[in-house]
Structure 1
């Protein structure tokens, strides 16, 4: 840092000296400036000039094209992925508010084969680290939506941004039916897998199922349907009816399963949640109860947030704040395409231990960055 220099006012006599002996005058000015900076001659430290504060705000969207966003937090680093439809792309960052800046690093870590049952329609990937190995769970098909199933990639490197991703094949779910939006979750030390699927072989409705995992790439036992689209806001006048995108967050003595409902092709696409008391059996459908506050997060035309949904969660770098990451459209009627941008905002918990999401924040609204950034 350079201290400010106050130049002395030059009299006419001094100006004459300056013209005749310019070097002498500059030495005099320099000495005068130094005395002004530190009149004690150096015995006391100078007071530093105030520095501008770093940018403490961010603006949504944090990523312009970002359907079905997912974030995994590993130490000080966040790994974000989303639906591209054609590959698995990861974004690495230490600042979630800076996904579109030089603070973030994005690259394609896996591309599908040219043909086969996981060659097309790559949807809703999630990255997890289980027992020291990285896994990506994603939905894919051969180009025919009816053939969507869940698939798994694995990487044993410490850095998931490396090229060492291996295709571990299909995660063979019970009954071998249509499946998307899969997410693993550990409950009381046991891993489970939840997803959105069809009851039969035709698209009448998407329900949410859960089953037990025996390893990160294998499941066992029957599938249990824990949610059907029955509430008015879940049905939303759509055909087929949809509940999808199960996402988990624990708080106090409960586990919450957030889900999206109402059809992503509608502006009525919204978020709700189920609640499970820790200790109850996750494979018993009646252990899961709908929150009376549902829906928790709905379209906000004034904020240019239509169809907010398919969320995930993260905490601020200092661990004191809870944040939701989600997608939404900026205009009505934009549906399920690449117009869905990635957005994030702070949320809180009520005195009763229930999630309080509020309304989607407006595009262009200045929001404080996560604490610790």
Structure 2
């Protein structure tokens, strides 16, 4: 089987936001991990060739001067925000990088040509490794959802949720939603990270990525009734099997760190990264070949998402 062509090569942790102005906005981790890059287009397919604009560069030194990871662009309450993680150095301490979470904002109509302001760190009350923040609004409440290390829980990261006081500040105590516990969540590393939110059919679904970021990387699923209290851990249901994983026959390895968007016709789409091979030379961190793919997300008769496999790429027109 020939390699499946990505929508956008060498862009990991992809995030596509469909705005009310008719444009799709795309951001992702760039191989250099040194900036936040945006592009926009009228169609999903056109994102592949759209002009890229670097809206923020890391400083030379300081607490957020290295390893800019997993940016997400959101339009929240009248302004643009990009949430991302960054570290003070590339040094690993206690088997972890030193990332914390930050946010920049733009109050102009077009985030590619507008002025961006560095708003600072988003504090969670835990001074530990954290990353992969996303935000969503439900019943008029803005929520922050992210991955973080908790010192008394084994592993690299768990998923947490909190209500937000504003788009740049949380309030209240973080609530844990899931920690690595199943065998498919602890291969290589004990990881729950990269949450993404989808609200449909009376439920809120949260996908997340688990295990090491090689061919073991895969996606799990949380769900909750949309009338339930999102800040009560026991209200959430966790699937005991991964919903999206490596397909060796198709040479699609380690699919994960996804986001959701909709096609021009309003169909739900799954956006994710994957590699086409497993033989990584050198440090996997600096391997640039995690590519952005987009596929159709299906639904079963009970109204639950059906993810299929990363080989189902024919469901959506790629570049």
Q: What TM-score results when the alignment is normalised by the length of structure 2?
A: 0.90
Equivalent in the alignment of 1:183: 134
Equivalent in the alignment of 2:311: 361
Residue 196 of structure 1, CA deviation: 0.8
Higher strand share: 2
CA deviation vs aligned residue, 1:229-257 (integer Å, no higher than 9, x gap): 11111122x2x311100100011110001
Change over 3 Å in CA distance of 1:204–1:231 after alignment to 2:
closer
Residue 87 of structure 1, CA deviation: 0.2
1:86 aligns with 2:34: yes
1:154 aligns with 2:105: yes
Structure index of larger Rg: 1
Distance 1:90 1:168 in 2: 18
Determine if contact 1:350/1:356 at 8 Å carries over to the other structure: yes
Q: Secondary structure at the match of 2:157?
A: strand
Equivalent in the alignment of 2:43: 95
Equivalent in the alignment of 2:81: 135
Q: Secondary structure at the match of 1:286?
A: helix
Count of matched residue positions in the alignment of Structure 1 and Structure 2: 304
Residue 326 of structure 1, CA deviation: 0.4
Q: Secondary structure at the match of 2:309?
A: coil
Residue 105 of structure 1, CA deviation: 2.2
1:274 aligns with 2:222: yes
Higher helix share: 1
Residue 163 of structure 1, CA deviation: 4.4
Determine if contact 2:8/2:291 at 8 Å carries over to the other structure: yes
Distance 2:278 2:139 in 1: 42
Equivalent in the alignment of 2:251: 304
| Moved >4 Å (runs of 4+) | 365-368
Equivalent in the alignment of 2:165: 214
1:74 aligns with 2:19: yes
Structure 2 unpaired stretches of 5+: none
Equivalent residue for 1:316, pick from 263, 271, 277: 263
Query: Which has the higher relative contact order, 1 or 2, with Cα contacts under 8 A spaced 6 or more apart?
Result: 2
Determine if contact 2:295/2:314 at 8 Å carries over to the other structure: no
CA-based RMSD of the aligned residues comes to 2.0
Residue 176 of structure 1, CA deviation: 2.4
Q: What TM-score results when the alignment is normalised by the length of structure 1?
A: 0.78
Equivalent in the alignment of 1:349: 299
Distance 2:18 2:304 in 1: 23
Distance 2:132 2:181 in 1: 20
Equivalent in the alignment of 1:229: 180
